[in-house]
Structures are given as C-alpha cells and as structure tokens.
Amino acid sequence: MKSHFKIWLIRFGDALRNARLRIGNWLKVRLRKQIGYVVLDVSGPLPEFVPPRPRWHRYLPAFGIPLARRPLGLTEIHRVLERIANDPRPRGVVLVLDDLDAGWASVESLRGLIARFKQSGKQVAAYCGRDLNPLIYYAACAADRIFAPPSAGWKVLGLRSGAVFLKDALAAWGVEAEVVAVSPYKTAGDQLARSEMSPQQREMLTWILDGHYERLVGAVAEGRGMTVERVRELIDRAPFTAEEAVEAGLLDGVAYLDELPHRLSEKRQDGSQPEPAKLVNLDEVRRALLTPLRRRSGKMIGVIPVRGPIIPGESQRIPLPVPVPIFGNYQTGSDTIAQLFRRVEADERFAGVVLYVDSPGGSALASDLIGREVARVRRKKPVVVYMGDVAASGGYYISAAADWIVCQPLTLTGSIGVVFLKLLTSGLFARFRANREHLQRGAHASIYADDVPLEGGLRAVVEKDVFDTYARFKACVMAGRKMDAGQLDAIAGGRVWLGEQALARGLVDQLGDMQCALDKARELAKLPPDQWTPAAWLFEGRGNRLPPPFEADPERSAWAGRLRRVLRERVWALMPFMLKIE
C-alpha cells in the first residue's frame, strides 16, 4: 500500500512539473523565437563532472570578487547537447577547442557526445583558435566543419612518448633504488632503478602508441573523407599553415572568430547576400533552451568518483603541487569510498552504483579494501564501473569485482601486478659525512629501512610479501571476471592495455562513455527504460550529494601527516609508468 501511494505521489508530482514546464517552454519560444548557433567553450581539462558552485558564490561579484572560469564537464556537455538537440530553434553548436588539455579517453567521450548530437540533424562546427595539435584535431574531426584563424598552424606531427630514467642521477648523490616486482612488465620502479628502457616497457609503450596513432589516423580519415594512406602521408608532411590545410582538405575554412558568423551563414536560393549566422554563448541562452518533460522512476543511480592515487584512510587534497607525479594533488582514500558505498547501500533511493575510476592505482592494501566494498555492495545493488583516462593496477583492482565494466577504446587499464620499492640513502649520508647508527630487535626489523640493502634472507621475505599480495589481486580478478589462472597469467604480470585490447582479453565488458555505464546500471537495476532515473554524483551539498571524497582538510597541517602515511606504504598496485602522449 505504501509503495502504491509513493508511486501515485511521483506521478502526481510529474504531472504538475510537466504542466509547469509546458507553459514555460511555450513562453520561451514566444519570447525568443531564434537562437542560432550555441557556442560551447570546451577548452581546458575536460573533467567528467564539475560540481556546481555553492549558492553564496553568486554574491561575490557584487563585492568586486570575480568568479574563476568554471570548465565544462562532460556530464554537463551531455545535458546541454541533449537540450539543444531537442529544441527546434538552435541550428547547431560551435565548439571552441582552444588549449584542450585532457586525456585521450576523455576526448573520445567528447567525440561520442558530438556523434550523438549530430543524429538530431543539427550542425556542429569546431573552431580552433590555436595551433592544431593531435589531441585538438582528434576532437575537431568529429565536427561537420573545422575552422581556424590564418595565423594558426596544422601541427598534427604524429605522436611521441617516453620516460626519464634516474638511476645514474641518483647514484651521483649516493642514492640507490631497490625494486621487487612480480614480472618484468611491472615497471613502476624502472625510472628509479634503471638507466634505460627495458624491452618489456618498450613493448608496452609500442602497442599503446600504435593504438593511439591508429585511432587518430582513423578518426581523421573518417571525419575528413580521406583514405588512411592519405592521412598518414599528410601527417608525415606536416606542419602546414592554415591555408595549406584548407587546400589539403584538413580544414573547411580560415577565419577569425568574429568572421565565423559569415562563414556559417547559408547561401540563399535567390543568390542574394546571406545574413550572418547568429552565435550566442551558452551562458546567454542556457535559460532560454527548452526543458525536457520527464516521467520519473523514483530512483537514482549513485556515482562514486575515484580520482588520482589510491591511499589508505580518508581522501585528501594536497594544497601545494607535489614534485612526485605518482602522488598528485588529489588522492582517494579507502575509508572515504567505503563510507560512500555504505551510505548508498543503506539509502533505498539509490537503485545502483556507477564507480567512476580515473586512477593509476596506489596502495595495494587500500585498493583491496575498496575492492571488498564493491564485491559486498553488488550483492544488494548492481555496481557498474566506468573507467576514465586511466584505471590501471590498483584502479583495476577496485574495478574487477563489479557487475559490468565500461571504458573508452583509449583508456589505459590492466597492469595487474604489484611492486615493492625503497630507496637506499646510505651513500647520500656518507657524502655529507653523517653517521647513522641503529639498534634492532627482530631479524626482519630493517626490511623497510633506507640504510639496509635487501640481501640474503631479507629479499626472500619481501618477495613473499609481494607475491602474496599479487596472489590476492589475481584471485579478485579471477572471481570478478570469471577467468582461470592460465587465462589471467597471459594478460597480467603488470601488462598495460588500451581499452579495446582489454575488451578483447575479457578485462572489460563494453566500450563506451559514462552514459553507457549509467544505462547499464539502470538496466541491471531493472528500472523502466522509458522513465527518468537521474545520476547523483556524490559530492558535498544539499539533496543527493554526499560529502566529497576530495575535500580539503580544514587543518592545512593535516595533509603533511597523511602524505607521510602514504610514503610508509611499501607494496604498491601502481601503473608501471605515467604515460603522456603528445
């Protein structure tokens, strides 16, 4: 009886809301009959989700305090494009792609959103106000037309990636790295312990770089109507000026931003001069766009984000840049994620969970604790993982137990393996004639000490610890992915895979974006597909947003203590290399 009454309340609320929206939409059309092209500035980092500003921020400009530019997230771009597609007044969108600084998988998601939008029959133009590098042009090729100013250059020169090896530099200061890894493919410590790239790391970088390059070439060929051979030839001949790129068919026109309305205008049948197309910024027209009418299911899908390195304890934001890439400025704590999982589990409004993973891994212990929460909660509610730019090592550890895994073709994942790393600093102290003396009780008390090398029985003890952790990692993957040991050993050992390679090897279930993951969660939760089930990102704020996993500690000194706890971790489920392809 209670259930039927709740459904009646939802339907009654929907009827009132939709009636109000119909009136509002009618007024919007009457007051603003034409909109033209909506300009979306997607420059910057292109995050998956950007939490809204607190309400009190709206009063800051009145006191002369300007608001910082809030980047568009992929989730918001999806909502905006959906509204524009369903509104008959806009002719299309213009994407401004200046200084795009995102991962390749994030740009792949943007391309997918553009492809969905183009199915509405509306136009997409890309304007690149800077030199066109491979990443920017990869995004731009999803548009119908591409424009750039005459001073810009087409500098899609190919792709390049590498690593810096510090063994000899550390040795010059009397420091030596000792590494115990489960296989030569788990190369997380190589940058400190080697002087050059290992054959295994070169092999992985080769297939990753090849995958990115093939994807780039294919996207250009499809978007510009060329053959793959022609695209390769043009890349090898680059760079080109903007005019040369137009002649080669790589751009549709050369124009400054103020000239773009004339370039987007349509020719009239009588041959008269066409009127310039109208371009409006999103902020100017956001309220004027039609609001969709919906019937609610009465449930939500909770989205729990795991971003950056994984650490034990609470999540934290380090207020200052950290010179060690693996730590980053955002770190996800196992206790914080466990708390969010348990709150979603206990709240009947949540029908399922999407775990958003954009992490190179981190502490093996913390990864195991989060993986346990995934395995436990999925017994009651479906858990779907969506992988961002990278979900490797510990990032895969926490994903393996989910009901379903979705990633992009260029997501970096896998790296199933662990590594032990410590730096020996005896030589450094000797250079400064600093004498250290220690007393010890217990045969293995010095295993983690930075002045005692792993010799004799100590190395055997560390190897046992590393391989025991690796066995737990593999057991979690075999249980979650329904694999046997032979199947897993052939693809594990620290090997890093692209998303499309991971799909072929059974490590993920589907290629797609966040919307695909949300749709799968709704399907597994057996929610009606014709009813609206919103996604609730678990951030601080009112309503359905829960405490943020990356909130800055009010006591600034606390982060230093947390960083020390991170440094005390010895066994890491960490991606073998921090990859940047440019």
- pLDDT at 265 (0 to 100): 85
Detail the DSSP E strand segments found in 76-120: 90-96
Query: Domains in the chain, ordered, with CATH?
Result: 22-157+238-288 (3.90.226.10), 301-417+483-574 (3.90.226.10)
Query: For the chain, how are helix, strand and coil distributed in percent, rounded to 5?
Result: 40, 20, 40
For residue 565, the model assigns a pLDDT of: 52
On whether the CB atoms of residues 359 and 390 are closer than 8 A, the answer is: yes
> Is the pLDDT at 486 greater than 60, yes or no?
yes
Write out pLDDT tens, residues 438-463: 888 888 888 888 888 888 888 899 99
* Local confidence band at 547 (pLDDT 50, 70, 90 cut-offs): very low
pLDDT of residue 270: 54
User: If you search the block for the tokens 């921090």, which residue do you land on?
Assistant: 578
pLDDT tier for residue 150 given thresholds of 50, 70 and 90:
very high
Given a cut of 60, is residue 416 above it in pLDDT? yes
pLDDT in tens, 502-517: 999 999 999 999 999 9
Q: Which of 67-71, 108-112, 441-445 has the highest mean pLDDT?
A: 108-112
Residue 383 scores a pLDDT above 90: yes
Query: Which segment of 270-284, 334-348, 419-433 scores lowest on mean pLDDT?
Result: 270-284
- Is 386 within 8 Å of 406 (Cβ atoms)? yes
The pLDDT, as a whole number, for residue 511 is 98
User: pLDDT averaged over the chain?
Assistant: 88
Q: Does the structure show a pLDDT above 90 at 6?
A: no
> For residue 317, what are the contacts with CB-CB under 8 A and spacing of at least 6?
329, 330, 331, 550, 551, 552, 553, 559
Q: Tell me: pLDDT of 543 over 60.
A: no
Please check whether residue 143 is in contact with residue 126, taking contact to mean a CB–CB distance below 8 angstroms.
Answer: yes
What does the block give as tokens for 443? 């045969």
| pLDDT score of 582 | 65
In sequence order, which ranges of 48-93 are alpha helices (DSSP H)?
74-85
Of 263-267, 277-281, 390-394, give the lowest mean pLDDT range: 263-267
Whether 248 and 156 have beta carbons less than 8 Å apart is answered as no
Residue 454: predicted pLDDT: 87
Grouping H, G, I as helix, E, B as strand and the rest as coil, residue 438 is coil
Higher pLDDT, 455 or 574: 455
Q: What sign has the CA pseudo-torsion 453, 471, 358, 575?
A: positive
Q: What is the DSSP string of 493-507?
A: TT-EEEHHHHHHTTS
Q: How confident is the model at residue 326 (pLDDT cuts 50, 70, 90)?
A: low
Helix (H, G, I), strand (E, B) or coil at 281: strand
Q: Is residue 112 exposed (0-12), middle (13-18) or buried (19+ Cβ within 10 Å)? A: buried
Q: Is there a contact between 318 and 563 (Cβ–Cβ < 8 Å)? A: yes
Structure tokens at 339: 């708390």
- Joined together, the tokens standing for residue 539 give 């951030």
pLDDT band per the 50, 70, 90 thresholds, residue 559? very low
Query: What is the β-pairing status of strands 419-424 and 571-574?
Result: antiparallel
Q: In terms of C-beta density within 10 A (0-12 exposed, 13-18 middle, 19 or more buried), how is residue 416 classed? A: buried
Name the residue with higher pLDDT: 273 or 296.
Answer: 296
Give the Cα separation of 373 and 361 in Å (integer): 16
From the list 494, 479, 483, 500, the residue with the least C-alpha distance to 408 is 500
Give per-residue pLDDT as tens, 288-314.
Answer: 999 999 999 999 999 999 999 999 988
User: pLDDT tier at 104 (50, 70, 90 boundaries)?
Assistant: very high
Lowest mean pLDDT among 399-403, 410-414, 555-559: 555-559
Tens-place pLDDT, residues 14-58: 889 889 989 998 988 888 888 999 999 998 889 999 887 766 666
Please compute the mean of the pLDDT values over residues 55-69 and round it to a whole number. Answer: 66
According to DSSP, residue 100 is labeled B
Calculate ∠ Cα 373-377-379, nearest 5°: 130
- The pTM of the full predicted model, rounded to 2 decimals, is 0.89
Whether the per-residue pLDDT at 550 is higher than 50: the answer is no
pLDDT grade for 552, boundaries at 50, 70 and 90: very low
Q: Mean of the pLDDT values across residues 406-415?
A: 97
Q: Report the percent of the chain where pLDDT is more than 70.
A: 86
State how far Cα 411 lies from the chain centre. Answer: 8
pLDDT at 99: 85
